[in-house]
Structure 1
């Protein structure tokens, strides 16, 4: 892990509540898909965010930050970027990274901006092992929350062994995916969790339910990856 002063390279809205941030690093770093960084807001105030970029791009890092005025934890980071155009970060961190040497099928599960964790892993996987089956389940409250929906649909058409399963709680008449909670969609489709590697990111409550329900259905905990698991 290094502490670095990163400069703002890009800042754009993916949705009204989600920002895509690209930071230019002062030096190249090595990180694994699925790791995260910490934004250093103060000596005892360090805020973690998953790295969304593929590890092949080591001189920049991309973040997807969900931030609203009633969420100062994330909004203060966006405001600092807007005002100062730089951040002190610590990177890389985390042990829930992509395991490329496994031969098991992969299940990626994301809630909201937890997608950034799975997006990094998916990009690395499609470059290294496109023949190994991988299914991404991405859950949001409504279709507009799934900001890379079209991109993921296109990827699933390009890669025979990549399957994309979008899930929303509130659908409209044009919705093309599942309706409900993302972990329930996984359990409806995946009948043999014991033969899968499962990577998960989202709210702690969601991760806790996935851990308990999936383990009860045969998933060994050693095959479940997510940094939130260390805190629940």
Structure 2
């Protein structure tokens, strides 16, 4: 049994097999809808079913207000048709040159940027071209079949290594390996397997609106790639980067951001620390990073926002910025949902 789904705004159609989600079916048909975690833990794939019967999931129930659900709002990463559907969503673009691939990669460099942050560089095969948009992510395919997602921290440069910023989650199967010691530790020249690129988080170059970049912790990784793309493309739109951490060490590439601020006349860097200790001697902005944006810009109606970080930061920013006038379609987000978050969610289904 297969159901036909029609996207109202564009009239694109695709088939969804019994038990398949709307998002998975769209991606299988080379139609790229907004998405990030693909697990019902963020709101990136939120859309609306205009007509037809469907089954939604726990993420829809937990993240979308009841009055919106009553009007058909749902998360397409977990929603399964029970009849032909018409939906409202934004097509990011139709897949063409950029293809999702499974590839072996070799670790070429590892550098600790903080006690719990490792910058890892990977070389893709010289015989294969790995194309992606600055801001997208990859997934490691582990030996047991499980996956771990990490954003690409560099703009695409042919044949150049790709860069990831990996935070240590103690007890985590993969990050304990990255930060380990002895025979079980990750080492340069190790071969890993990845799939990518994935996600719809990347710069919309066709706009002329000023840009706000919002990062928490290692959510800076795709933001870094986007800034590199802005510089390389010669984009002169005003750009404000707000990067938040609990302590100054969490803003682990402070010097790079300051260098951008000094060199680029249209670029402003605002670091924000929420829990500085006296020994940190922090003299900069304090508080929640998403609130710092509102302290500076009360009316966001003319802006684009690109936000990446912990789910609580993304959800808080999404709600607060909508109240400050930001159009829903101008909020682009990548929520860093850990394996532990997904296990907790699965246990609560």
Give the structure-1-normalised TM-score: 0.92
Q: Is 1:62 aligned with 2:163?
A: yes
Partner in structure 2 of residue 223 of structure 1: 330
Residue from 12, 19, 24 that aligns with 2:118: 19
Residue from 105, 109, 128 that aligns with 1:10: 109
Asked if 1 retains the 8 angstrom alpha-carbon contact of 2:258 and 2:269, the reply is yes
Q: Is 1:103 aligned with 2:231?
A: no
Residue from 180, 192, 206 that aligns with 2:299: 192
CA shift for structure 1 position 34: 0.6
SS in 2 for 1:75: helix
Correspondence 1:15-94 to 2 at 5 A: 15-26=114-125, 27-42=128-143, 44-77=145-178, 79=180, 81-82=186-187, 85-94=190-199
Inter-CA distance 70–169: structure 2 relative to 1 (3 Å threshold) = farther
CA shift for structure 1 position 129: 3.3
Mean alpha-carbon deviation: is it higher for 93-102 or for 63-72?
63-72
SS in 1 for 2:134: coil
Q: Is 1:175 aligned with 2:291?
A: no
Write 1 or 2 for the structure with the bigger share of helix: 1
Q: Which has the higher contact order (CA 8 A, sep 6+)?
A: 1
Partner in structure 2 of residue 137 of structure 1: 242
CA shift for structure 1 position 175: 2.7
Could you list the runs of 5+ residues in structure 2 that have no partner in the other structure?
1-99
Partner in structure 2 of residue 125 of structure 1: 230
Q: Spell out structure 1 runs of 4+ moving beyond 6 A.
A: 229-232
SS in 2 for 1:211: helix
CA shift for structure 1 position 177: 2.3
Partner in structure 2 of residue 155 of structure 1: 260
Could you list the runs of 5+ residues in structure 1 that have no partner in the other structure?
none
Asked if 1 retains the 8 angstrom alpha-carbon contact of 2:304 and 2:331, the reply is yes
Mean alpha-carbon deviation: is it higher for 92-101 or for 172-181?
172-181
**Larger Rg, first or second structure (1 or 2):** 2
- Determine the C-alpha separation between the residues in 1 that align with 2:171 and 2:149: 18
- Determine the C-alpha separation between the residues in 2 that align with 1:176 and 1:102: 35
- Determine the C-alpha separation between the residues in 1 that align with 2:188 and 2:123: 16
Asked if 2 retains the 8 angstrom alpha-carbon contact of 1:130 and 1:159, the reply is no
Inter-CA distance 186–202: structure 2 relative to 1 (3 Å threshold) = same
